[in-house]
Amino acid sequence: MQKLRRDATGASLNAVGVAAITAPRRRKERRFKLLQFQAYAFILPSFIGLLVFSLIPIVAVAVLSFFNWSLLGQPTFIGVQNYAKMFSSSAFWHTLLVTFYYVLLNIPLQTILALLLAVLLNQNLPGKGIFRTIFVVPWMATAVAMGTIWQWIFDPQYGSLNTFLALFHINGPAWLSSTTWALPAIAAVNIWQYTGYNMLFFLAGLQGIPSDFYQAASLDGANRFEQFFSITIPLLTPTLFFVLVTDIIGSAQVFDTVYVMTQGGPGKATNVINFEIFQQAFEFFHAGYASALSMVLFAILIIITLIQVLFFRSRIVYDLS
């Protein structure tokens, strides 16, 4: 066998060697181009869908926000008047406040409960499969049917909740008719609906943590609480990030339960921004104004998501070693 001379990279340099380098290199280039083509081909179907059914409508909404349109007839251009009207309207700021308050009531409690249930069901408990199924069941009901049931539960006179409270001699409030309690009530229904769903993601995250970490920690004498905060929580940060980002985006856009249970009332106590958008577009026929509201919500959600990305960037842990 002829001895191959090699250059600095270890590639062979003689004639046979040259042919041996260039042929694979050409093949690699061809494969690279083929890969790139495949990448675009794989993305193409979803991109067409995104373009036609998502991007174009979003751009249309952005454009529409500078117009006045009653859904009938032609839109009329009014420049930034929708935005001017919005930012000077106390009703708008109230809507933002309501939405913000709702997310605050909803997300922390829901996340903690979901995590708690996931931790409990991550052990080798008899019947854990049944428990997991039962906790996810609330997520599967439609808003119309369940919203109605919850209205009954919250009924001040005949509702199960006040009847239950009366057993403890607590005089329950008017819930959905009370400006103080209507929004917490809606938040409670949403927590009921989505805790199990989020529990699934946390369960998955928990199962991804290698048990070696816990074994090593208990050998070092750490108790269960210390293990939870120094192993479990850090290694759950990727899951936590995903859950928080998607949940905040979702709950800021709450609509179904508000529509079925309170219609934004009493007064404007539960007038979250998505419900306001719906009313403006389909009940007051101010489609341009509704579009402007949508754009503002979009901007707010982008900012909130960016804040979360920045917060988690230095804190996400993938490996404790």
Partner 1 sequence: MTSVSTEITASKAGARTKQARPQIGHVTRYAITYIILLLGVVVSLFPYLLAVLTSLKESNQIFSGAPWTLPNPLTFQNYVTVMTQYNFLAYMWHTLLFAVIVTLGQLIFSTMAAYAFARIDFPFREQIFWLYLSTLMVPTIVTLIPLFLILRTLGLINTWAGLVLPYVLGTPFGIFLMRQFFLTIPKDLENSARIDGAGTMQIIFQIILPLSRPMLATLAIVTFVPAWNNFLWPLIITNTDNLRVLTVAVASFSSNFGTQWGPLMAAGFITLAPLLILFFLFQQHIVRSIHLSGFK
Site for partner 1 in 166-195 (CB under 8 A): 192
Instruction: Identify which of residues 14 and 140 has a Cβ nearer to partner 1 in the complex.
Output: 140
Interface residues for partner 1 in 55-84 (CB under 8 A)? 55-58, 60-61, 64, 71
By CB under 8 A, name the one of 67, 92, 102, 135 that touches partner 1.
Answer: 135
Residue 106 touches partner 1, criterion: CB under 8 A: no
Q: Which stretch binds partner 1 (CB under 8 A): 82-90, 149-157, 171-179, 261-269?
A: 149-157
Going by C-alpha positions, the residue among 193, 185, 134 that lies closest to residue 159 is: 185
| Three-state DSSP class for residue 8 | coil
Instruction: Identify which of residues 17 and 238 has a Cβ nearer to partner 1 in the complex.
Output: 238
CB-based contact 106:193 (threshold 8 Å): no
Please state, in angstroms and rounded to a whole number, the distance separating the CA atoms of residues 300 and 295: 9
Binding mask 235-254 for partner 1 (x = CB under 8 A): ---xx-xx---x--x---x-
By CB under 8 A, name the one of 142, 171, 314, 321 that touches partner 1.
Answer: 142
By CB under 8 A, name the one of 72, 90, 318, 321 that touches partner 1.
Answer: 318
Residue 109 touches partner 1, criterion: CB under 8 A: no
Residue 134 touches partner 1, criterion: CB under 8 A: yes
Least distance (Å) from partner 1 to the CB of residue 2? 25
Residue 149 touches partner 1, criterion: CB under 8 A: yes
Helices (H), the chain: 15-50, 56-64, 81-87, 90-121, 128-136, 143-154, 160-166, 182-207, 211-219, 224-227, 233-252, 256-261, 273-282, 287-313
Q: Taking the mean position of all CA atoms in its chain, how far away is CA 5?
A: 59
Burial 283-303 (b: 16+ CB within 10 A, else e): eeebbbbbbbbbbbbeeeeee
Residue 215 touches partner 1, criterion: CB under 8 A: no
Least distance (Å) from partner 1 to the CB of residue 309? 10
Least distance (Å) from partner 1 to the CB of residue 51? 10
Residue 272 touches partner 1, criterion: CB under 8 A: no
By CB under 8 A, name the one of 35, 72, 167, 219 that touches partner 1.
Answer: 35
Instruction: Identify which of residues 229 and 282 has a Cβ nearer to partner 1 in the complex.
Output: 282
By CB under 8 A, name the one of 256, 265, 268, 308 that touches partner 1.
Answer: 256
| Three-state DSSP class for residue 14 | coil
- What distance, in Å, lies between the first and last C-alpha atoms of the chain? 47
Residue 48 touches partner 1, criterion: CB under 8 A: yes
Instruction: Identify which of residues 5 and 144 has a Cβ nearer to partner 1 in the complex.
Output: 144
In terms of C-beta density within 10 A (0-12 exposed, 13-18 middle, 19 or more buried), how is residue 237 classed?
middle
Residue 54 touches partner 1, criterion: CB under 8 A: yes
Please state, in angstroms and rounded to a whole number, the distance separating the CA atoms of residues 154 and 192: 14
Instruction: Identify which of residues 97 and 144 has a Cβ nearer to partner 1 in the complex.
Output: 144
DSSP state at residue 178: -
Going by C-alpha positions, the residue among 181, 147, 179, 185 that lies closest to residue 268 is: 179
By CB under 8 A, name the one of 39, 170, 233, 310 that touches partner 1.
Answer: 39
